[in-house]
């Protein structure tokens, strides 16, 4: 199955860029989900999925490695040429909505429950969302979502998935952190927030199965997954102030800091 790109701008919420949950998902985390779905008996090469919060394609690209087809949309155009529609997933698509087997996405946290509900209306088989593990808490979400529509799978990551606002960072590449006194140092990207995949399967209404995702980041990381480090996160060169260091220099600097 293939999808035709839509140039129509559907009715949608008016969102300022700084109001969006712009936290790109590392590709390896999506590949981990695909492995779990395959192990659950889903032949993804024969199935389709919709990524309705596609951002710059960091989740859509690894989905396309596994699924037979991927439809991509977002409420905002982030400049990625793989985005097929600029549209609000929560507003009726009328006749233009694609027919898909799964909806797979990293939704804005405050809208995740609504995205899941709409996804269950759209998808033939199920919905998978990448969310903070704290999403499973809360009386309101329990009463409006989990009580009557429990997820089939809860997939917490054993190792930390590092997300930063507005940029996809390789946790192996140190970034420059400058203190209030102007002094700085190289540090590997980290995160205090834990994440998991939640999966709803229409033919499995319960009970919910907890299945941990074992360490797999290094195995599932591919060349080209991460864009170049933004200039503002590179260490200034020692001999030419303001000149970014090379990746090799950054790694050497990081080793010096931690030794």
Sign of dihedral through CA atoms 101, 104, 109, 110? negative
Q: Summarize pLDDT for 24-44 with one digit per residue, the tens.
A: 999 999 999 999 999 999 999
CA 78 → CA 84, 85, 87, 168, 230, distances in Å? Answer: 12, 11, 12, 14, 16
163-214: pLDDT as tens digits = 999 999 999 999 998 877 777 889 999 888 999 999 999 998 779 999 999 9
- Which residues, including other chains, have CB under 8 Å from residue 15's CB and lie 6 or more apart? 75, 76
User: Which residues pair with residue 6 across a beta bridge?
Assistant: none
Range name among 16-20, 21-25, 169-173 with the lowest pLDDT average: 16-20
User: 215: pLDDT confidence band, cut at 50, 70 and 90?
Assistant: very high
CATH architecture for residues 1-157+196-218? 3-Layer(aba) Sandwich (3.40)
Q: What is the pTM of this model?
A: 0.83
Q: Is the pLDDT higher at 59 or at 13? A: 59
CA distance linking residue 4 with residue 71, whole number of Å: 9
- Torsion angle (degrees, nearest 10) of CA 139, 145, 151, 154: -40
pLDDT of the residue at 133:
96
pLDDT at 8 over 60: no
pLDDT digits (tens, 9 = 90+) for 88-133: 998 866 667 889 999 999 999 999 999 999 999 999 999 999 999 9
pLDDT score, position 92: 62
pLDDT at position 94 = 61
List the domain boundaries for the chain.
1-157+196-218, 167-193+228-259
């Amino acid at each position: 199955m293939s999808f035709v790109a839509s140039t129509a701008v559907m009715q949608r919420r008016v969102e300022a860029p700084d109001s969006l949950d712009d936290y790109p998902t590392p590709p390896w985390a999506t590949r981990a989900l695909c492995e779990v779905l395959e192990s659950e008996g889903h032949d993804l090469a024969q199935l389709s999925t919709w990524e309705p919060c596609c951002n710059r394609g960091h989740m859509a690209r690894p989905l396309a490695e596994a699924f037979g087809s991927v439809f991509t949309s977002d409420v905002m155009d982030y400049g990625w040429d793989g985005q097929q529609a600029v549209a609000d997933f929560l507003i009726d698509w009328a006749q233009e909505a694609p027919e898909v087997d799964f909806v797979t996405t990293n939704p804005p946290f405050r809208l995740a429950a609504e995205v899941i509900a709409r996804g269950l209306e759209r998808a033939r088989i199920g919905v998978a969302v990448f969310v903070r593990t704290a999403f499973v808490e809360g009386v309101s979400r329990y009463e409006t979502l989990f009580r009557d529509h429990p997820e089939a799978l809860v997939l917490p990551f054993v190792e930390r998935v590092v997300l930063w606002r507005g940029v996809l960072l390789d946790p192996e590449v140190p970034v420059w952190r400058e203190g209030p006194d102007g002094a700085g140092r190289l540090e590997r990207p980290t995160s205090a927030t834990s994440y998991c995949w939640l999966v709803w399967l229409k033919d499995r209404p319960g009970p919910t199965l907890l299945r941990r995702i074992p360490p797999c980041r290094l195995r599932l990381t591919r060349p080209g997954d991460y864009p170049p480090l933004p200039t503002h996160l590179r260490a200034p060169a020692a001999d030419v102030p303001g000149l970014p260091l090379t990746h090799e220099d950054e790694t050497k600097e990081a080793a010096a800091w931690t030794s």
